[in-house]
Amino acid sequence: MNYIIKNATLVNEGKTTLASVVISDAHIEKILVGNNDFSNWNNYEIIDGQGKYLLPGIIDEHVHFREPGLTQKADIYTESRAAVAGGVTSFMDMPNTNPQTTTKELLQQKFDLAAQKSAANYSFYLGATNENIDEIKKVDPKKVCGIKLFMGSSTGNMLVNEDDALVRLFNESPCLIAAHCEDEQTIHENTVCAKDLASKGEVVADAGLHPFIRTTEACYKSTAKAVDMATKFGARLHVMHISTKSELTLFRNDIPLKDKKITAETCPHYLTFCDKDYDEKGFAIKCNPAIKMASDREILRKAIVDGHIDTIGTDHAPHLWQEKFTDDYFTAKSGFPSIQNSLDVMLNLYHQGVISLPQIVKLMCHNPAELYQIKGRGFIREGYYADLVLVDLNHEKVIKNDDMLYKCGWTPYGGMKAKSQVTHTFVNGNLVYHDGIVEANIFGKPLEFDR
């Protein structure tokens, strides 16, 4: 099927422009500026974009779709459908599954699963361990998004904590290193202390304890170490889910993205919630790194505008309701689903005057494409893949658990008012989502990288 999205406001490459986009054979055939009449165009399905905004499809570089091995929580089929319903057309999935994705063969198995199940385009990280540098060196950087490094343990515990392994990784990795940075020793000491105090009744082991265990100090110490090693060995480092204002001092905003070798990501939840929200949301917003203070949130909001933060990813990490909502901080799982709501949340920040539409597109579309060197995606350009999302900025809704397509069936954003609505999502020129429906039997493609 060929399509024309007519007379929408394109948000692309720093501009908003009234235009129409012609789609054929998976690609953007033409971009026609101005108000256009297509009454004589045959063999195209016309979608009226009047009054709506057309964005490049969101590229989410940071998800945990839980397949294989943890599919009671989520899987590629369910979470990719949630993704396209939220305007996300491409994702990059993490290796802390079961088994952990730490060999070339296991990595290929995930690509094979996605080819049969994913509604969105996809890539997968190979996970680093203390022992698998030889597997890492086998990675084809034109086909694999990157190497995931856990410098702090999280769900799945793939901690790399031996200096010799870190040196080899930063010195020999064939592609980008995406790092989870929290200092394990600091977290361990804080946890031991908290358990002791809780056993004596001196602290309450509720969700509000989290930023006092996974602290600013733990984040800064680990991030500084990663930045130091990347600088020493000239490695390409992307530090994920920045949660503190102190870490921002380690990143530059005085050079363009193309010249940066060390970059930073944050997530919508760090821009939305703060420590005051633990009273209401409880373990629903327990995640690693922890959501921290209101002052951190405010500085992070400035950082997404001033260039210290380069990308927005979700860290979409589903758990079952019963795994999250326990009576004990020490057993409640960290992480939550968010990919269906990420654009909703960022557009709320637009409505609040925190960030402009072009800046959202830069952080969620252009910069991920440029940073990962993705071929033919992330921009509305003739000849590029037609990965597109059409948004009504004046459609208010309440985010509800019942409307989520996540397998786990809940969202920490439940009850939040969203000011905007995704109406249509195209993946490779196919209309995969519209009118609340995800089309069956339409599948994405593996991302390719121009490295």
Beta-sheet pairing, 53-56 with 3-12: parallel
Closest CA relative to residue 425, chosen from 405, 410, 448, 398: 405
The identity of residue 277, as a single letter, is: D
Q: What is the pLDDT of residue 275?
A: 98
C-alpha–C-alpha distance, residues 204 and 157, integer Å: 26
Q: Which strand (E) or helix (H) includes residue 440?
A: none
pLDDT at 327: 85
d(CA 308, CA 295): 16
Q: How far apart are CA 19 and CA 366, in angstroms?
A: 19
CATH number of 58-372: 3.20.20.140
Distance CA 109, CA 100 (A): 12
The pLDDT value recorded for residue 39 is: 86
What global pTM score does this model have?
0.97
Grouping H, G, I as helix, E, B as strand and the rest as coil, residue 23 is strand
Q: Which whole-number Å values give the CA distances from 418 to 105, 112, 381, in the listed order?
A: 42, 36, 29
Helix 76-85 vs helix 104-117: crossing angle, to nearest 10? 60
Cα–Cα nearest to 312, from 252, 246, 226, 378: 378
Torsion of CA 29, 32, 37, 38, to 10 degrees: 0
Asked if 269 contacts 412 with a C-beta cutoff of 8 angstroms, the reply is yes
CA nearest to 278, candidates 289, 268, 293: 293
Cα separation, 149 vs 161, in Å, equals 10
DSSP structural state of residue 395: -
d(Cα 429, Cα 437) in Å, to the nearest integer?
A: 17
Identify the pLDDT of residue 153. 66
For 93-106, the DSSP string reads: E-S-SSS-S-SHHH
> Is the CA virtual torsion 411, 415, 418, 422 positive or negative?
positive
Q: Give the torsion sign (CA, 392, 395, 400, 402).
A: negative
**Along the 451 residues of the chain, how does pLDDT read in single tens digits?**
899 999 999 999 999 999 999 999 999 999 999 998 898 898 999 999 999 999 999 999 999 999 999 999 999 999 999 999 999 999 999 999 999 999 999 999 999 999 999 999 999 999 999 999 999 999 999 999 999 999 866 556 688 989 999 999 999 999 999 999 999 999 999 999 999 999 999 999 999 999 999 999 999 999 999 999 999 999 999 999 999 999 999 999 999 999 999 999 999 999 999 999 999 999 999 999 999 999 999 999 999 999 999 999 999 999 999 999 888 999 999 999 999 999 999 999 999 999 999 999 999 999 999 999 999 999 999 999 999 999 999 999 999 999 999 999 999 999 999 999 999 999 999 999 998 999 999 999 999 999 9
Q: Work out the angle at residue 419's Cα, subtended by the Cα atoms of residues 416 and 420, and round it to the nearest 5 degrees.
A: 115
- Structural domain spans, the chain: 58-372
From the DSSP assignment, how many helices (H) and strands (E) are in the chain? Answer: 14, 20
Supply the pLDDT for residue 154. 59
